[in-house]
Amino acid sequence: MPTKTLKWFYVGIGLILVLVPIVWTVAGSFRTEADLFGHPAGLIPHQWTLHGYRGVWSQLPFLRLLGNSVLFAGITTALTVLFDSMCAYALARLNFRGRDVAFWLVLVTLMVPFQVTLIPVFVELFHLGWLNTYQGLIVPRATSAFGIFLFRQFFMSIPRELDEAARIDGAGHLRIYWRVILPLAKPAIATVALLNFTNLWNDLLWPLVVSSSPDMQTLPAGLALFGGQHVTDHAVLLAGAVISLLPIAVAFFLAQRYFVAGISTSGLK
């Protein structure tokens, strides 16, 4: 059928556009500079080299950076999921004065570009004595307006009869939230967790601003050092990109079943 051919043609072009750059990146991290310049039309290395990976390994305290990244992105994501879902529960399930105002305030924060608040936030962290500390790194990012928004939408799609049944059994709000709503919200949790984790993992500016100590540097911050001023070593830069991408890719392929299923059943409406 022509529509079917058309459909697969469209999807096929899209796939090529998406996959080729990714393959090129991975392959490029194994290519020599001469190979890159000599065969710009090539996708696969003509001669393989580990120069890029060796460069990254020898110049970075790699495990330390990795550990910091996991710590920062992991703890912050866990807190975000907890705080966002609690906040969303109140917004979706409780009736109280000021609910609309609270919801709008949350939405407004979604509209603030990070660069705008950078300097005031830095000064605040200073007054709190939180610069160069893990709480300074984690607490300000431990909630996200987008997550609250997503949870709220999801919770509203859960039939209210379920809460009422629980309430008849004498459950309070905390119990309903923890025992009824959250277990049903696994797909939303997966979605918010994955999106937050990738955002935090990829964040470069924030860790740099909060900590000046090399002991607290995260992976992207460490890798940014290779974007040096003078000579671009493509293999090292691409190797850095692949390395920082790898954990995300693993997390993504592990979580994607829940995630795709999650965002599908969440019925965002």
Partner 1 sequence: MTKARPWLFMGPSLLILGVFVLWPIVQSLWYSLHDWTVGAAEQPWVGLGNYTKLVHDPQFQRALGNTLIITVASTAVLVAVGLGLALALTSENIVSRVIRSAFFFPTVISLTTVGMVWKFLLDPDIGLVGGVSRALGLGAVNWLQSTALALPTVIFVNVWKNAGFVMIVLVAGLKAIPGEYYEAAALDGARRLQLLRYVTLPALRPTMLFVTFIVTIQSLQLFDLVYVMTGGGPLFHTDTLVTKLYRDGFANYETGYAAATSWVLFIVVVLVSVFQLRIFRYNDAD
Partner 2 sequence: MKNKRVIAALAGAAATGLLLSGCGGSDGGGGGGPVSLTVWTGFTGGDRPGYEQIVKDFNAAHPDIKVTMTVQPWDTIQQKLPSAWLTGQGPDIAAPSSDPNAIAQYVKTNSVLALTATGAGDDKINTDQFAPALVKEFTYNDKLYAVPANYATLSLYYNKKLIAKPPTTVAELQEDAAKATTGGKYGLVLADNNTIQMWPVLQWLSGGDIVGADNCSTIGTPEGQASLQPWVDLVKNKKISPVGLTGAEADSIFSAGKAAMEINGPWAAPGYKSAGIDLGIAPIPTGTSGQSVTLGSTAPLAVSAKTKHPDQAQQFVAYWTSKTAQLKFSQSTGFPPLRTDLADDAQLKADPTVSVFASQVPNAKLYLPQVPNATKVDSDAYVPLIQKITRDGDVAGGTASANSQINQLTGCSK
Whole-angstrom CA distances from 142 to 57, 111, 157, 169, 255 are 31, 17, 25, 34, 21
In the complex, the smallest distance separating the C-beta of residue 158 from partner 1, rounded to whole angstroms, is 13
* CB of residue 36 to partner 1, shortest distance in Å: 5
Residue 163: contacted member of partner 2, partner 1, none (CB under 5 to 8 Å, by partner type): none
Listed ranges 46-54, 55-63, 70-78, 241-249: which one lies at the site for partner 1 (CB under 8 A): 241-249
Q: Are 62 and 182 in contact (CB under 8 A)?
A: no
Task: Tell me phi and psi for residue 48, to 5 degrees.
Answer: -85, 145
- Which one-letter DSSP state was computed for residue 185? T
168 binds, among partner 1, partner 2, none (CB under 5 to 8 A by kind): none
Instruction: Pick one of partner 2, partner 1, none as the site partner of residue 131 (Cβ within 5 to 8 A by kind).
Output: partner 2
Residue 106's SS3 state is helix
Minimum distance of partner 2 from residue 223's CB (angstroms): 11
Residue 256 near which of partner 1, partner 2, none (CB within 5-8 Å, type-dependent): partner 1
Across 17-139, where does the E strand assignment appear? Answer: none
Give, as ranges, the residues between 80 and 99 that touch partner 1 (CB under 8 A): 82-84, 86-87, 89-91, 94, 96, 99
Is 105 among the residues that bind partner 1 (CB under 8 A)?
A: yes
Please count the residues of this chain forming the interface with partner 1, following the rule CB under 8 A. 90
Is residue 19 close enough to count as binding partner 1 by CB under 8 A?
Answer: yes
Q: Give residues in contact with partner 2 (CB under 8 A).
A: 33-34, 36-37, 118-119, 122-123, 126, 131-132, 205, 208-209, 212, 214, 224-234
Q: Please, which residues bridge with residue 159 across strands?
A: none
Among 2, 5, 41, 170, binds partner 1 (CB under 8 A): 41
Strands (E) in the chain, as ranges, are none
Q: Is the CB of 232 or the CB of 265 nearer to partner 2?
A: 232
Q: Where are the beta strands (DSSP E) in 13-106?
A: none
Interface mask (CB under 8 A) for partner 1, residues 216-235, using x and -?
A: ----x---x--x------x-
Residue 264 site contact among partner 1, partner 2, none (CB < 5 to 8 Å, cut-off depends on kind)? partner 1
Nearest residue (CB) to partner 2, 55 versus 74 = 55
Pick from 194, 210, 236, 239 the residue near partner 1 by CB under 8 A: 194
Beta carbon of residue 76, minimum distance to partner 1 (angstroms, whole number): 11
Which residues touch 29 (CB under 8 Å, ≥6 apart)? 52, 53, 235, 238, 239, 241, 242
Spatial distance between the Cα atoms of 106 and 108, rounded to a whole number of angstroms = 5
Which run of H or of E encompasses 90?
helix 62-93
The answer to the question of residue 162 lying near partner 1 (CB under 8 A) is: no
Q: What are phi and psi of 231, to 5 degrees?
A: -110, 125
Burial of residue 189 (number of CB atoms within 10 Å: 0-12, 13-18, 19+):
buried
Query: Is-contact 174 246, C-beta < 8 A?
Result: no
